[in-house]
Amino acid sequence: MQKRPDAVKFKGKPLALVGPQLKAGDQAPDFACLNQGLELVTLASTPANKVRLFSVVPSLDTPVCHQQTKRFDDAVASLGDRAACYTISLDMPFAQKRFCGAENISNMQTLSDTHNQSFGKAYGVLIEGLPIPLLSRAVFVLDKNAKITYCEYVPEVTSHPNYDKALEALKSTAG
């Protein structure tokens, strides 16, 4: 498995990311995550007739991840059924369900990568070198053919992504 040394910082400390650095134009790799009902979700099982947003966060129980999920949840409401939007973390599905209920998250679906970290490894966001596994903050937009049209790896895990650019890419891809 490819490792990218010093690819991200966590509170200023350089750390490696496991997996490739994807870019716009790449075909999105497959993954196998769990939804809140403990059902397996793969790239192929996400709606192919919609553009997709993957908002990747370390943990929903931290302030920036909380804000990121709320901000995208509010912003994607205007797209209706033209987009399928997901927040992906290593949180347990039960914790994701609790968070979504408490915060009235209705437009973002949560996916847990905790069982095999396949999303983290395939999308190059699995952080190596921390006491526990975490995903690095990132945003991916996929078109209806599962081609990546926008990709941002946030260089400092504790910083916010560029919401405006991600949402602009999502809306232009959705048409």
Of the residues 65, 85, 100, 151, only one is catalytic, namely 65
pTM (whole model) above 0.85: yes
Q: How confident is the model at residue 44 (pLDDT cuts 50, 70, 90)?
A: very high
pLDDT tens profile 112-159 = 999 999 999 999 999 999 999 999 999 999 999 999 999 999 999 999
Token output for 109? 């679906």
In this structure, how many other beta carbons lie within 10 angstroms of the beta carbon of residue 108? 24
Is residue 100 annotated as part of the catalytic site, yes or no?
A: no
CB neighbour class for 113 (10 Å; exposed up to 12, middle 13-18, buried from 19)? buried
At 80 the pLDDT is 87
At 1 the pLDDT is 85
pLDDT tens profile 4-24 = 999 999 999 999 999 999 999
Q: In this prediction, what percent of the chain has a pLDDT beyond 90?
A: 97
* Mean pLDDT for the stretch of residues 56-71: 95
Per DSSP, the three-state class of 33 is: strand
Q: What radius of gyration do the chain's Cα atoms show?
A: 15
At 90 the pLDDT is 97
* Mean pLDDT for the stretch of residues 59-87: 94
At 175 the pLDDT is 85
DSSP string, the chain: --EEEEEEEETTEEEEEES----TTSBPPP-EEE-TTS-EEEGGGS-TTSEEEEEE-S-TTSHHHHHHHHHHHHHHGGGGGGEEEEEEESS-HHHHHHHHHHHT--SEEEEE-TTT-HHHHHTT-EEESSSS-EEPPEEEEE-TTSBEEEEEE-SBTTS---HHHHHHHHHHHH-
Q: What is the mean pLDDT of the chain?
A: 96
Q: How confident is the model at residue 163 (pLDDT cuts 50, 70, 90)?
A: very high
- pLDDT higher than 90, residue 69: yes
